[in-house]
Amino acid sequence: MKKLFSLGLLLFLLIPIQLSAQQSEIFSAELQTLIESVEEKVIDWRRDIHQHPELGNREFRTSALIAEHLRSLGIEVQTDVAHTGVVGVLHGGQPGPVVALRADMDALPVTERVDIPFASTVTSVFNGQEVGVMHACGHDTHVAMLMGTAEVLAQYRDNLKGTVKFLFQPAEEGPPEGEEGGAELMVKAGVLGNPDVDVVFGIHINSLLEVGHISYTPGGTMASADDFRIHVKGVQTHGAYPWNGADPIVASAQIISALQTIVSRRVTLIDNPAVVTVGMVRGGVRSNIIPEEVEMMGTMRALHPDDRLEIIDHMHEIIENTARAMGVTATLTLPVTTSYPVTYNDVDLTNRMVPVIEAIAGPDHVSLRKPVMGAEDFSFFSQEVPGLFLFLGGRPSDVPEDEAAAHHTPDFFIDDSQLNLGVKAFVGMTLDYMENP
């Protein structure tokens, strides 16, 4: 890891500082003009992508839109990376480090319920089921912000002291079952090499954080995530004579209860939170038949890599021994399709960039946030090179936080009036790092 120089020297050497009426900014007049020139484009791109969402590994229209835009800017473009990913390489006018900027492209199998002119009416097939498709996690905003950032930096290329890699990533929400995808596959495809990336930055919209605000967490910021399947097999019998069989439903209930003791009794919760959730139980066809088998699926999350491994060991132990005690057999498959490491913000890089973000957004609009149990496959990039993952506010100022719809829900809504703050953050962090890598 390259040594980070002091922030004081950085700000002294940084491009000329100007003060606006509302915030101090670290951009020259030229850059400020370039950023302002893409503001409406970013909103238009976001709304177009929102109206045409695509599921993971199927982002064909979105990737074509991105590739066409990057090529129009004279940026080197590679397509079909990790299925539908797009990588753009922008060489600056001067030598320097390589900064990667990442945006994810995929939508979710959610039917939109928000009354907006550009609401999604798209349907598709997900794991064999016909579903509505919606950008219910804001990836449309991520793509639009990075497209705007690419346009700004491309027009400023002669002044860039290094190279920028734009990583437009498919399948952050996980690939379809039976496929590889997402950041893990992009890393395998070599997107962090040729030229070798020095740092990577990512921004995620947040429907609960007020618009115009940015939040961050040094160190572990988002949990690891591993989905799992438990298959419990018993002996089928009539519901009136349970002693003639081996009941996988009762055994499954015992397994679910016992799994909760891992977090409540095995993990040091005052240091690192963890979650073991069973989200699906399927078994049986009618009231008076004890079935032969039950299938359960769930998610396991932790904020420390050691806890993650320990919880997996405990899960195997509890599932196998509980099943044996109940006279059935049970097998654990972990992961099924998703296995994300902890999303870790490099502490030195975070500390260095916070004053830059404060200069862009205003100190009272930048806040430290607690780690969350949600997960992000940005973690695959940040475990290879130093990374920083920020959260950008998308909640309308007149909507109380407790009334804002959560991510992954049909009512998810983003105020896109200040997406240019994300463009400013990407541009500011890129130029900052290039000044003193």
Q: Which domains does the chain have, with CATH numbers?
A: 7-223+342-435 (3.40.630.10), 224-339 (3.30.70.360)
C-alpha–C-alpha distance, residues 95 and 112, integer Å:
46
Bridge partner list, 201: 101, 388
User: Is 402 annotated as catalytic?
Assistant: no
The mean pLDDT value for 37-49 works out to 98
Distances (CA, A) of 413 to 44, 113, 137, 332: 16, 10, 9, 37
The mean pLDDT value for 332-343 works out to 92
Distances (CA, A) of 316 to 116, 227, 255, 299, 324: 47, 14, 11, 14, 12
**Cβ distance 181 to 175 under 8 Å?**
yes
User: Is 172 annotated as catalytic?
Assistant: yes
C-alpha–C-alpha distance, residues 74 and 179, integer Å:
33
Helix (H, G, I), strand (E, B) or coil at 127: coil
Q: What is the pLDDT of residues 251-291, one digit of tens each?
A: 999 999 999 999 999 998 888 899 999 999 999 999 999 99
Question: Residue 26: is its pLDDT beyond 90?
Answer: no
**Cβ distance 431 to 437 under 8 Å?**
no
Bridge partner list, 76: 89
Residue whose structure tokens are 């040594």:
3
Q: Which of 104, 151, 172, 210 is catalytic?
A: 172
How much is the pTM? 0.88
Question: Residue 348: is its pLDDT beyond 80?
Answer: yes
Residue whose structure tokens are 């509980």:
322
For residue 388, which of 430, 326, 335, 417 has the smallest C-alpha distance? 430
Q: What is the pLDDT of residues 206-239, one digit of tens each?
A: 999 999 999 999 999 999 999 999 999 999 999 9
Question: Residue 24: is its pLDDT beyond 90?
Answer: no
Question: Residue 181: is its pLDDT beyond 90?
Answer: yes
Task: Give the pLDDT confidence score for residue 1 in this predicted structure.
Answer: 40
**Residue 25: band (very low, low, confident or very high) from pLDDT cuts 50, 70, 90:** low
Q: Which of 25, 59, 106, 184 is catalytic?
A: 106
Q: What is the pLDDT of residues 104-126, one digit of tens each?
A: 999 999 999 999 999 999 999 99
Helix (H, G, I), strand (E, B) or coil at 219: strand
**Cβ distance 106 to 185 under 8 Å?**
no
**Residue 437: band (very low, low, confident or very high) from pLDDT cuts 50, 70, 90:** confident
Length of the chain: 437
Q: What is the dihedral of CA 151, 156, 160, 164, to 10 degrees?
A: 10
Packing angle, helices 248-261 and 305-325, rounded to 10 = 150
